Amino acid sequence: AQKITQTQPGMFVQEKEAVTLDCTYDTSDPSYGLFWYKQPSSGEMIFLIYQGSYDQQNATEGRYSLNFQKARKSANLVISASQLGDSAMYFCAMREGGSNYKLTFGKGTLLTVNP
Amino acid sequence: DGGITQSPKYLFRKEGQNVTLSCEQNLNHDAMYWYRQDPGQGLRLIYYSQIVNDFQKGDIAEGYSVSREKKESFPLTVTSAQKNPTAFYLCASDPQGQLGSPLHFGNGTRLTVT
């Protein structure tokens, strides 16, 4: 069974609008962390935001916020005020406390920002 | 500047040849990882090492080998036994033992085997 599911292979958004990228996860470990990475066409992986399973508040980093719904096991990334430079692949990933801290990735969502 | 260096950026090999991908980090991180990325797929873990002279298989270790003789270096050998070696390979590191510490990635090596 997949531990991380990203159901949107591709998404389009108009410049300056907000967009939500979906991520659901599966774990029975009470201690885990959720990460979002951005991968531009150049291939580098850029860390965006982190949410711990025990964190009470949703994480925010500039224009990025994480909509964490623990009971639904979802960790959606919200990008506000989209910019052309936001066009990239976005990956959701999870690290479980009991798994030697290995990071497991979803298949990603390709976001295209239109002018 | 601290970071992870992967070389070369592009690598071409003939089928049946072993090839070694380099990964060097100067972040003083204990843990290092190798991931493989195919089109339309996420990153899949090949091998990881939590400490010098120790490493564990990831989810797709068959046809690959690694060594960790120095903290700074974690080379990956793609052997002739790997049936579909053409892919984008990413090396990463982190301080280890911290659930919330993000992985730092290199810029990747794109391997093409014909």
Q: Please list every residue in chain A whose beta carbon sits closer than 8 Å to the beta carbon of residue B7.
A: none
Task: Report the 10 Å Cβ neighbour count for B83.
Answer: 7
Q: Is B88 on the interface with A (CB under 8 A)?
A: yes
CA distance A109 to A58: 21
* For residue A1, pLDDT beyond 70: no
Who among A91, A93, A107 is closest to B40 (CB)?
A107
Amino acid at position B15, single letter: E
Q: Is A68 on the interface with B (CB under 8 A)?
A: no
Q: Please list every residue in chain B whose beta carbon sits closer than 8 Å to the beta carbon of residue A104.
A: 45
A97 vs B111, which has greater pLDDT? B111
Cβ contact, residue pair B58, A100, below 8 Å: no
- SS3 (DSSP) at A86: helix
In chain A, which residue's Cα lies nearest the Cα of B110?
A43
Check if the beta carbon of residue B1 is closer than 8 Å to that of residue B99. Answer: no
- pLDDT of A98 reads 74
Separation of CA B66 from chain center: 8
The full DSSP string for B6-24 is EE-SEEEE-TT--EEEEEE
Q: Summarize pLDDT for A57-84 with one digit per residue, the tens.
A: 999 999 999 999 999 999 999 999 999 9
Cβ contact, residue pair A52, B58, below 8 Å: no
- pLDDT of B101 reads 87
CA distance A46 to A41: 12
- pLDDT of B79 reads 93
Low-confidence residues of chain B: pLDDT under 50: none
CA distance A101 to B97: 7
- Residue A73: phi and psi, rounded to 5, are 55, 50
Task: Report the 10 Å Cβ neighbour count for A85.
Answer: 9
Interface subset of A 35-64, CB within 8 angstroms of B: 35, 42-45, 47, 50, 52
Q: Summarize pLDDT for A14-50 with one digit per residue, the tens.
A: 999 999 999 999 999 999 999 999 999 999 999 999 9
CA distance B25 to A108: 26
Check if the beta carbon of residue A107 is closer than 8 Å to that of residue A48. Answer: no
Top residue of B56, B99, B101 to mutate, by most chain A CBs within 10 Å, is B99
- SS3 (DSSP) at B53: coil
Check if the beta carbon of residue B36 is closer than 8 Å to that of residue B43. Answer: yes
Q: Please list every residue in chain B whose beta carbon sits closer than 8 Å to the beta carbon of residue A105.
A: 35, 42-44
